Amino acid sequence: MKFPSFELDILTEITRECEGVLGSRMTGAGFGGCTVSLIESDKKEAIVKTIGKEYSANAGLKARFFFSKPEKGVRKLWVSNSSF
């Protein structure tokens, strides 16, 4: 799938080729866009190194990375007044 910019195209191609990447997709193209990728956590350092190096070489830009962990999802939380 091709995206509206060369930078997103190359970032997605590089990411999808990394060992340990389970999937990667573009999001937020209206603001320049970024990719969201699901990776194997034990391969995180190698993936970041590869993407950083290849993206800089091919797009001339520095990649930035943000990490999160999956949670249980939507649920009811009880908050007491004493916690404020």
* DSSP per-residue codes, the chain: ---SSHHHHHHHHHHHHSTTEEEEEEE-GGGT-EEEEEE-GGGHHHHHHHHHHHHHHHHSS------------S------GGG-
How confident is the model over 73-83, as a mean pLDDT? 77
Asked, for residue 35, whether it belongs to a domain, the answer is yes
Grade residue 55 by pLDDT with cuts at 50, 70 and 90: very high
CATH of the domain at 40: 3.30.70.3170
Q: Which domain holds residue 21?
A: 6-59
Domain count, the chain: 1
Question: Does 80 score more than 80 pLDDT?
Answer: no
pTM of the model: 0.76
